[in-house]
Structures are given as structure tokens and as C-alpha cells.
Homo-oligomer: A and B are copies of this chain.
Amino acid sequence: MSIEFVTALLGVLATVAFAVTGVLAVAEKRVDFFSAIILGVITAVGGGTIRDLVMDVPVFWSQDLLLIRVALLSSVITFVALSFFSKPQIHKSFLYIDGLGAALFGMSGAMKAYEFGFAWPLGLLVMGVVTAIGGGLMRDILTGRKTLLMSDEVYAVPVVIGIVIMGVMFKFFPAYDSEALVVGTVVAFALRSAAIYWNLSLPPWFTTQKK
């Protein structure tokens, strides 16, 4: 598999995942079709847009409308299919899909920073985290939810670990860049899934509430 293909595929998957979470976030509120679709699209392209603005490269969806189309279509399908979701399922699937999107976007953001010669490893880490959480933060802010940074869930940690592993592989095994992308994504998503499944929380010494 070429690195271009893997990157493109990850981008499409992450876009679908985040668009779905954007619409699911308003599933239990009375929001009209267009607002739900706008939320889905903002959630899907928000992180990558911040990444591109900061990197001073053309915003990815200004050149190629593929991912905007994917985000629109995913949002519409999610809206139409909302009645098939029962509430507990919505909540659970929402968490996993959001975790997958964050893992995928985190790796693709760090990858893009690496390609553009950002400093290793700090530049990759910052751009990966921005890309991973930017869209989700916009979703949470726009819908009035507690932002994902404020929950005590194991959310940012898996993405950070995935990026570090991928970054180390980039550095020491540069010939295996698409493998590194896949490994980083799988690690980040596996850790996040484990945290959701077993309802893991971080040890008290690892949070601001140490008392």
C-alpha cells in the first residue's frame, strides 16, 4: 500500500466518523436538518481546517471537495437513520466512533506535519493533537456540551501515545511510513476502546484532583 492511499483512506474514515458524531451530538435535542448537517460537517472538517490554517497550506477542502462531500453524505445518512438508533446504543457507538475519528485524525495530522518538515517530535505532536481534537472541540462548544478536555475520561492519552509510537517509527524506520500510520492508529483506537469498554479512569495522581 502506498502512503498516499493509506493517508487518503484514513482521511475518509475519520471524516465519516466525526460527521456521524456531530449529528449524533444533537440526536436528543430538537435541531433542524440544516443545523444538524452543518454541525456534522464542522465536526468532520474542523480539526483539519485548523491544522491547515496553522501550517499555512491551502485548506484541504478548498482544493478537493471529496471530504466535504463525504462529510455531507455521512451527516445526511446519520440524520435520516437517527430513528433507528435507540438511546443507549447512540451513546456507546458515539464514544467508539469518536475515538476512531480522533485516532485517525491525530495520525493524519502528525503525518502531514512530518511531511512538511515540522520539528520532530514536538511539532508532530502539537499538530496531531490539534487535528485530532479540533473538530470534536468545535462540536462540543457549538452544542453546549462539556468539552472533551473537561471530562475525566481517557481521551487525549491514547492519541498522544499513538502519535509518539508513529513518530518514533518515522524516525527510525522511515521506509515503513504507511505501516507506522496504521500502527499508530490501531494503538490509539485500541487504548481508547479499552478505556470505554472497561470504563477505565485515570489514576488520581494523573489528574488535577489529587486530594
The residues of A with any CB-CB pair to B shorter than 8 Å are 23, 26-36, 38-39, 41, 49, 53-56, 58-59, 61-62, 65, 68-69, 72, 79, 82-83, 118-119, 122-123, 126, 129, 133, 137, 141-144, 146-147, 149-150, 152, 154-157, 160, 202, 206-211
Evaluate contact between A27 and B208: CB separation under 8 angstroms: yes
Residue among A59, A137, A209 with most chain B CB within 10 A:
A209
Interface pair B147/A144, CB less than 8 Å apart: yes
**Copies of this chain present:** 3
Q: Which of B39, B55, B147, B206 contacts A149 (CB 8 A)?
A: B39
Contact yes or no, A32 B202, CB < 8 A: yes
Contact indicator B143/A30 (Cβ below 8 Å): no
- Which residues of B lie under 8 Å from residue A58 when comparing CB positions? 56
Closest CB in chain B relative to A182 CB, distance in Å: 23
**With A122-B68, A141-B141, A156-B38 known to touch, is A83 a contact of B150 (CB < 8 Å)?**
no
Q: Which residues of B contact A154 (CB under 8 A)?
A: 32
Sample 20 A-B pairs with CB under 8 A, ordered by A number. A26-B150, A29-B150, A29-B209, A31-B207, A31-B208, A32-B154, A32-B206, A32-B207, A36-B208, A38-B129, A39-B149, A54-B59, A54-B62, A55-B62, A56-B58, A62-B123, A65-B119, A68-B126, A141-B147, A142-B149
With A82-B210, A209-B29 known to touch, is A150 a contact of B155 (CB < 8 Å)? no
